[in-house]
Chains A and B, each alone.
Chain A
Amino acid sequence: DGGITQSPKYLFRKEGQNVTLSCEQNLNHDAMYWYRQDPGQGLRLIYYSQIVNDFQKGDIAEGYSVSREKKESFPLTVTSAQKNPTAFYLCASSLNPGTGTDTQYFGPGTRLTVL
């Protein structure tokens, strides 16, 4: 059963803590992405990776970090430097980065709440 999985579905964090969101795909896609979704804000790109061991900052990378050690995994760490981390986080992947025909497929999301 191919697809993108994200865990956990819900995550609660105390202020000052770092938390890591998991994203795994078995689609054999080269590129992976992290977005943040807030009410009325749409999807905003945090980080993306076109290939293993390489990643680039998106529009709102401050307070976040990522790694891409394996093709199928792209974990996102929300650090204590992120001042307003409560949001819905979406992971996506795509097959052909570098082409305009590259379509992205999304995971089910993780809802992070800071207590």
Chain B
Amino acid sequence: QKEVEQDPGPLSVPEGAIVSLNCTYSNSAFQYFMWYRQYSRKGPELLMYTYSSGNKEDGRFTAQVDKSSKYISLFIRDSQPSDSATYLCAIAKAGGYSTLTFGKGTMLLVSP
């Protein structure tokens, strides 16, 4: 079983839709969770960071973590064509030095 699983998509939605992007992970040692957005042929940019179960909101974006289910989500409200990108989840372990483990990314397409 891979450490992080993420559906590659593409996920196609109309403008204004609520988008749900998800990752599952296998190791309960992972305690820190990030979402990155990557436009085509660009470097990833950090969108959200969280370390606790529950929701964290930033504008139209909400990151949700369920540690009991080892499941993390990113919700995008009122999606815009400019949200069309690949979204990568990244997770890190607690305690000592830990590099990030990335999901393979989900491609999102928002049509006008």
> With an 8 A cutoff between CB atoms, is A85 at the interface?
no
Q: Which residue of B lies closest to A111 (CB)?
A: B41
Within the complex, the shortest CB–CB distance from A72 to chain B, in Å, comes to 17
Q: Which residue of A lies closest to B8 (CB)?
A: A40
> With an 8 A cutoff between CB atoms, is A105 at the interface?
yes
Q: Is the CB of A42 within 8 A of B104?
A: yes
**Cβ contact of B99, chosen from A41, A58, A106, A107, cutoff 8 A:** A58
Within the complex, the shortest CB–CB distance from B32 to chain A, in Å, comes to 4
Q: Is the CB of A109 within 8 A of B42?
A: yes
Q: In A27-75, which residues have CB < 8 Å from any B CB? A: 33, 40-43, 45, 48, 50, 58
| Residues of A contacting B99 in the complex (Cβ-Cβ under 8 angstroms) | 33, 45, 48, 58
Q: Is the CB of A42 within 8 A of B88?
A: yes
Q: Is the CB of B88 within 8 A of A43?
A: yes
Q: Is the CB of A42 within 8 A of B102?
A: yes
> With an 8 A cutoff between CB atoms, is B100 at the interface?
yes
Q: Is the CB of A97 within 8 A of B103?
A: no
With A41-B104, A42-B105, A103-B49 known as contacts, the answer to whether A98 contacts B43 (CB < 8 A) is: no
Q: How far apart sit A101 and B8, CA to CA, in the bound complex (Å)?
A: 26
| Residues of A contacting B94 in the complex (Cβ-Cβ under 8 angstroms) | 100
Q: How far apart sit A31 and B96, CA to CA, in the bound complex (Å)?
A: 14
| Residues of B contacting A45 in the complex (Cβ-Cβ under 8 angstroms) | 99-100
Within the complex, the shortest CB–CB distance from B29 to chain A, in Å, comes to 10
| Residues of B contacting A97 in the complex (Cβ-Cβ under 8 angstroms) | 97
Q: Which residue of B lies closest to A41 (CB)?
A: B104
**Cβ contact of A103, chosen from B43, B46, B93, cutoff 8 A:** B46
Give B contacts to A, CB under 8 Å: 6, 8, 31-32, 34, 36, 41-46, 49, 51, 88, 90, 92-100, 102-105
New A-B contacts (17) at CB < 8 Å, excluding given A45-B99, A103-B34, A106-B45: A42-B102, A42-B103, A43-B44, A43-B88, A90-B44, A92-B43, A97-B97, A100-B31, A100-B93, A100-B98, A101-B51, A104-B90, A106-B36, A107-B43, A108-B42, A108-B43, A111-B41
